[in-house]
Chain A
Amino acid sequence: MQRIGVFVCHCGTNIAGTVDVKAVAEALKSEPGVVFSTEYQYMCSEAGQNIIKNAIREHQLTGVVICSCSPRMHEATFRKTASAAGLNPYMVEIANIREQVSWIHKDMKAGTEKAIILGRAAIAKVSLNAPLIPGESPVVKRALVIGGGIAGIQTALDIADAGFEVDIVEKEPTIGGKMTQLDKTFPTLDCAACILTPKMVDCAQNEKIRIYSYSEVSEVKGFVGNFTVTIKKKARYVDELKCTGCGECTEKCPQKKVPNAFNLGLDNRRAIYIPFAQAVPKVATIDADYCNMLKNGKCGVCAKVCGAGAIDYKQKDSFIEERYGAIVVATGFNPIKLDAYEEYGYKQSKDVITSLELERLMNAAGPNGGTLLRPSDKTHPHTIVFVQCVGSRCDDGKGKSYCSKICCMYTAKHAMLIREKYPDTEVYVFYIDVRTPGKNFDEFYRRAVEEYGVHYIKGMVGKVAPQPDGKLLVQGSDLLADEQLRVEADLVVLAAAIEPDKTARSLGTMLTASMDTNDFFTEAHPKLRPVESPTAGIFLSGVCQGPKDIPETVSQAGAAASKVIGLLAKDKLTCNPCVAHSDEMLCNGCSACEKVCPYGAITYSDKEFRGPNRTTLIRRVASVNDAVCQGCGACTVACPSGAMDLKGFSNSQIMAEVDAICK
């Protein structure tokens, strides 16, 4: 018989407000095996933990039940407490009477009753607990960063700086991400390229960093400390080692009508291209969709002009397998497609553009060499209207319900830059709210209004109507003046909502990393573990976790790196001992468990057993690799003979809990 101690937490008034904690402690005192029962205001505090430690020693407790918050919150805390008092940490059970009781019920009587029942179930379970000893697994001292934007670059640099090797996998031909397309950055208005490209070069020159550009992750196996990742290097039809990036081919290629994705289709490039002058690696790539040689075997100009002999039309996708201890997701974002917002006429007029397109139009390396000309007739726009929240904070199902967070600031930046460079231009900004929390952010926005005279209008635009003379009639409402406005504009700029990159969803599935309904990766704890995925060994950096600007992205990238460094600094990881094991005497070798195991942790082997009358039997039985098993329990459900069981969550323990609840 176990000697069980019960500890009921008030969690201030979080629990005690809806649950009579004293009654719970009193009721659980008389449960079988319980030798001690008490309550305390904050069980997780040092004083609370001391109560537990003293009770373990004083009453020679062999099992502990804590009635408190979710085990996700403090199970680890209380296991450490028990361990410190000499008790095996797996002899601790948590009854969640906060998230499952006090936070969801209003009635004190019903809440108290339910808390007692959950406490009883935990007592029934802990009665059957057995001490567990965790094993260890080695850590591969290399990290993988998926995505080479500013988030991935910063994470990789910080990991490398700590002395660990790190690989960046980037799906585009160059690293740099969205930031390479930006002109100036808020709130200091320094040029994006000036602060980003040195970091890109640092990545290329750092001995600890390998860059797989034009590559994608195609398979992930393994677990924290020991991932095996297959990387697909897409055929770029250019030998990366031979190409010198001279650009000769990109000038001679006769296929000139390829929409330039880097400039968002505002101008054209050739079929063989280097996205921009500062690309890293500076290697040409052939766009197979447009290359005449690849499409119909006629051309071959680039091969002829290439002095390095780097062109290889027969190149195929290749696959590389690498092992990593940790994986950082930094897959970033894209602006949404504006198909559902034709009231703004994005498809109907060339002079209705997105904010990212404006960045290219204003960029010195952009299609107009930095002179702001409107796309339709290449004239200077004299009246410009910005529309904010296009697809953000949308509850009509067309757009995104969330705030994209960066638009208020970049719109203020655009407005200011335009007024600075072209003082004769009138600039209007239609907004729902202006949201500028962040260091020096609100001052920045106020400067746009007060010093630069940008007309901020609270209200949304209903229609952008192209006029016969080429002007755009913007109809909107001014909610503060309570009147309808009509502005004749030359250029309309839409602040499109941002959404996670399309590759995020399939990557999330590969990594078994959870995502929210918007396809943003979910953090392990929204406040206390913001850069870790709930899946061990997976870390989050940048907008893949939620909308954020560059300063915030860089902070998060550094935080993710420090978590990775903390992991890679360990030689061995403690394994979760709550894993499956097979009772060889019951196993009939049917393979049902092997088929359902998502981690490939189960193998079969022939073993000798003693048969009747001193004979020897050879039987095929399952065995579980403790280091690979994640303790999901799928095999215990699939096993027809009941041979598979999960340590710490055995079938008998679960049934005991159910019985205690139904009693």
Chain B
Amino acid sequence: MIYSYYPGCTLKTKAKELDRYARRSAEALGITLNELPEWQCCGGAYTTAQDEIATKLASVRALAAAEQEGGELVTLCSACHNVLKRVNHDLLTDGEFAGKVNRYMNPEQPYGGKTKVVHYLELLRDTVGFDELAKKVVKPFTGKKIAAYYGCLLLRPGKVLAMDDPENPVIMEDFIRAIGGDPVIYPYRNECCGGYVTLEDQALAVKKSSAVMESAEGFGAELLITACPLCLYNLNKTDGFGTEVHYFTELLAEALGVKD
């Protein structure tokens, strides 16, 4: 199985582990991730401005390149996934926007949103299968109480991202079960960590993230996992909580025995 892969800027700088363990695990699972050549920043945040295409063009380039390579683009960072998937959805459903983009970029092959944007978790669920994954686990997290933290960007808007029920998701809990852990269900797993507000008002972001940590610990979490570098950053800025926060790929690599 060969897929185009879009790591994104953060995974090359602050969140190298998220990327490194994902690649190692994919290899162990028989999946080849081909990093897109000359990819650019996804734009960082999806803009809802209707009359503006410039902030979305970088995403379009990645999506169009993936179409040339086979049509499926694997993402990992929640923010990149959110931006790429939403821009792609715009191209597919908004003819006027697609026309504007193609007229501006003037590519050899017009791009209309045909690429399938697949998050790494979806790849595990739909292509590998959590049952199959469980069979390949060599170091299971037996008895470990692990809490999944989804944040906002991975699931919302629900109709466009179409990964899981944004109000009561199961995909990461199923993943935790597959690697042998004991998923902790807590209500703040899909609440905001504070996001970019941390640049403006760090206290507010800390407050939001603390609520998440408190809720997870309250329900007995011993470990938190996330797919988002910004979430991890904000959760780690909180004070007074003992629970460690890791990227889900790190646990995956460990369970598959390919961490080191």
Contact residues of A with B, CB < 8 Å? Answer: 341-343, 345, 347-348, 463-468, 473
Contacts and interface: CB of A to CB of B under 8 A. Distances in A.
Contacts of B220: 468
B219 interface: yes
B106 interface: no
Contacts of A466: 187
A467 B191 CA distance: 14
B185 interface: yes
A510 B218 CA distance: 56
Given A342-B168, A468-B218, 6 more contacts: A341-B167, A342-B165, A343-B167, A464-B187, A467-B215, A468-B215
Nearest 4 pairs of A and B residues by beta carbon: A342-B167, A465-B187, A468-B218, A342-B168
B21 interface: no
Nearest to B191: A463
B188 A465 contact: yes
A647 B185 CA distance: 70
Contacts of A467: 187, 215, 218
Interface string B213-230: 001001110000000000
Looking at chain B's contact residues, the main secondary structure is: loop
Contacts of A341: 167
Interface in B130-174: 165, 167-168
Contact of B219 (A345, A464, A468, A473): A468
A620 to B, nearest CB: 56
A5 B114 CA distance: 64
Interface of B: 165, 167-168, 185, 187-188, 191, 215, 218-220
A351 to B, nearest CB: 13
Nearest to A467: B218
B168 A347 contact: yes
B227 to A, nearest CB: 20
B222 to A, nearest CB: 14
Nearest to B220: A468
B168 A348 contact: yes
A345 B215 CA distance: 15
A539 B187 CA distance: 48
B76 to A, nearest CB: 26
Contact of B215 (A342, A343, A464, A465): A465
A348 B184 CA distance: 12
A582 to B, nearest CB: 51
Given A468-B218, A468-B219, A463 B187 contact: yes
15 contacts: A341-B167, A342-B167, A343-B167, A345-B168, A348-B168, A348-B187, A463-B187, A463-B191, A465-B187, A465-B188, A466-B187, A467-B218, A468-B215, A468-B220, A473-B187
A498 to B, nearest CB: 22
A468 to B, nearest CB: 4
A345 to B, nearest CB: 7
A163 B191 CA distance: 64
A473 B191 CA distance: 14
Contacts of B191: 463
A377 B247 CA distance: 36
A637 B218 CA distance: 72
Contacts of B168: 342, 345, 347-348
A475 to B, nearest CB: 10
A341 B185 CA distance: 17
Nearest to A346: B168
Nearest to A396: B159
A345 B187 contact: yes
Contacts of A343: 167
A90 B215 CA distance: 77
B151 to A, nearest CB: 15
Given A342-B165, A342-B168, A348 B185 contact: yes
A83 B165 CA distance: 65
A342 B190 CA distance: 11
Contacts of B215: 465, 467-468
A37 to B, nearest CB: 52
Contacts of B219: 468
A465 B218 CA distance: 12
Which of A345, A347, A468, A473 has the most chain B CB atoms closer than 10 A to its own CB? Answer: A468
B22 to A, nearest CB: 29
A341 B165 CA distance: 10
A348 B185 CA distance: 9
Contacts of B165: 342
A95 B188 CA distance: 64
A347 B215 CA distance: 18
Contacts of B167: 341-343
Nearest to A463: B187
A32 to B, nearest CB: 51
Contacts of B188: 465
Residue with the highest number of chain A CB atoms closer than 10 Å, among B187, B191, B219 = B187
Nearest to B218: A468
Nearest to A348: B168
Nearest to B169: A342
A342 B218 CA distance: 21
Nearest to B215: A465
A203 to B, nearest CB: 43
Contacts of A345: 168, 187
Nearest to B211: A465
A342 B166 CA distance: 8
B177 to A, nearest CB: 17
A473 B187 CA distance: 10
A341 B166 CA distance: 10
A468 B187 CA distance: 10
A510 to B, nearest CB: 35
A465 B212 CA distance: 11
Nearest to B187: A465
Nearest to B214: A468
A206 to B, nearest CB: 49
A473 B219 CA distance: 14
A463 B211 CA distance: 14
Contacts of B187: 345, 348, 463-467, 473
Nearest to A469: B218
B3 to A, nearest CB: 31
A387 to B, nearest CB: 14
A468 B219 CA distance: 5
A341 B187 CA distance: 14
Contacts of A468: 215, 218-220
A234 B36 CA distance: 62
B97 to A, nearest CB: 21
Contacts of A465: 187-188, 215
A634 B103 CA distance: 50
Contacts of A463: 187, 191
Contacts of A464: 187
A341 to B, nearest CB: 7
A343 B167 CA distance: 5
A342 B167 CA distance: 5
